[in-house]
Structure 1
Amino acid sequence: MTDVDITSPDDFSSSKKPQRLNIHHLDAKLAAGFHSDCENLLQKFKKCQNYSYTSFAQVWRESCFLGIFKGLNNILTMKTFVENAFFNAKKFLYSPDLYIQTGALYVLYGLYYKQPINKWVKVRLTQADVDQLKEIIDTHKENRCFEPVFIYYKMRLDGAFQYCALPLPLGLEPKFLKRVDFAKNEIASRSSCDSVLNKFKTLMEEDPDLVQFDETDEEYQKLSQKYKDQLFIFPSQLGAHLKKAYSETFHVQLEESPQTQAKHITLLKAKATEAANATYRGDRKVVTAIDLQTPSTSFNS
């Protein structure tokens, strides 16, 4: 069976033909929606600035995250959705931010113990996933933050993990082939435009690395001028382009650097000089018909 009926029983009383949605398209849409919800959840948890599971649980409840299971009445669809949810949640384990990594572990923990099916789906872990989890847990051990450590070992003891070679199962049946294509194309990793803009805004306003990037870029420009005859060096304007995009997107007036201010002053002076030497319309002599002394074209009667 490759199609799922998404119509309600009341629709059969009408003359309209029941609409059907391809199950693989449905899986992709559900997975994309989950990825966006999961990303928003982890961003809220990151703002708590701690690794406490209590803080994560509060954000989980405020977001009504268990609502992701509503509307999935078919057991096969539910099982596939849970598998894809684990697959997408694991991606956040590879984030460079430890808060996001810890939140991803908590998401796996919450989804595993709250999945509304009798035979629970296990979390597939490849060797890379195991190594990444071990690195996260070792970091928390060094920081003496034991809540993530406890949750990880509880899942291990309860048999929540299925150790395997590939992130998703392979098979010759069409359902397996479709899911492999789905995994390779990273359909679920697509975010909305608002999400991308929020990331960019956070980068420009909160990321401390951007300040260091500006300092490095400025130092690079100075050195490039010093050694420009010996080396082939391209002019770097990445910082300026980022600030311009941020200013135009969010309508924010950024403080200009001394070099930029000096450049603008030079341009203004040049324009002022051009204006002083220009001939204005008010000073121009207007040529009239009298000046042209055109002979009369009228005929005598």
Structure 2
Amino acid sequence: MNFPGLKEDCETLLSRFQATDSVRYEEFLAIWKDMQFSKIFVGGMRTLERNAFTGEAFSIACLYFLPPYTFQIRVGALYLLYGLYSTQLCEPKRQIRISLKDWSEVQSFHQDLISANHLDAAYVFLQMRLKRAFHFTAMPKFLTFQIHKNTPNSSGREEFKDVQDRVSNLVTSDTLEEIQNIHEHYRKTKCLISADKSQPDKSLSLAKDDFVDGLKNFVTEHQLWKLEKRTPKTKSDEEKEATSQESEGSERARALARIKAKSYNSVTVAPKSRRHRQVQLVSANTDPTDSQKRKRPRSRKSRRKTSKEMEDSDSDDDYEVSSKKSQHPKSSRMPVISEEEMSSSGEEFLITKRKRTK
């Protein structure tokens, strides 16, 4: 039977739990109560339909309880299975189908919970074991013959899947042992070729002697990093991270201040073409008003503008003079003679004339 909306509700609950970035049961319980997820079984369903609905809900939660999904999603699916099993209305209670090939993954997941100190999730799993909530089967679903059913695709969300650990897949214990054997054989061959049989020549040392040890240390560091990522963060760890981030920010601010101080205290020598624009060093103790009172050197652009304005003003003056001359053309050609000049010139003229008659 198909129950639309059931898978979407379960995925919404798991996505909200993933947003908390925690694996604590208190966080899941708060989301469960906020969504009122226990009322999912309440409805006008008959016994057969109720049993089918409960089995479908268990199969959807089991899909995210097994790999390849992230550790947090698998813990959320475990809490979801526990809540669905505890609030179901079937009488007797319907069990959760787990195939034998998947049970080994469930046991290893339980060991990871204990080693990572997630005691609340480990306690929930033990409670489900004590209540006999799991039904061990050969197949995860009913196997039917000669019946063709249009079963929907049972693939989960891509964002819930765990990123594949390529380091652990590539470097295993068998590969490390094989690399160690090849490295020893390579060293013995170099000793046979070199002059000193006990130690190879330095010219033949193309690979490092501690190559295998370095690879082992790298793999162990990667595994420790993964375990630290899974461990829950306490308040002291969060406070330490906050203080470290504040110290890093203050150190960065101090470094930037030192760089700025160095850049402002040093004046670069300008080239010959730009010496008229050279910057003068102003100390930090001087008042800003003194620097404002000082006149800035005039740039080429302003010089060109002033020269152009002067030329325009000269041309305007010439135009005014020429206009005045055009207005009084006679006064500019014929000079004005006063009466005194007329009298003096008349006497001189008479004297000169009388002298000539004598």
Taking structure 2 as the reference length, the TM-score comes to 0.41
Which structure has the larger Rg over C-alpha atoms?
2
Taking structure 1 as the reference length, the TM-score comes to 0.49
Higher relative contact order (CA 8 A, sep 6+): 1
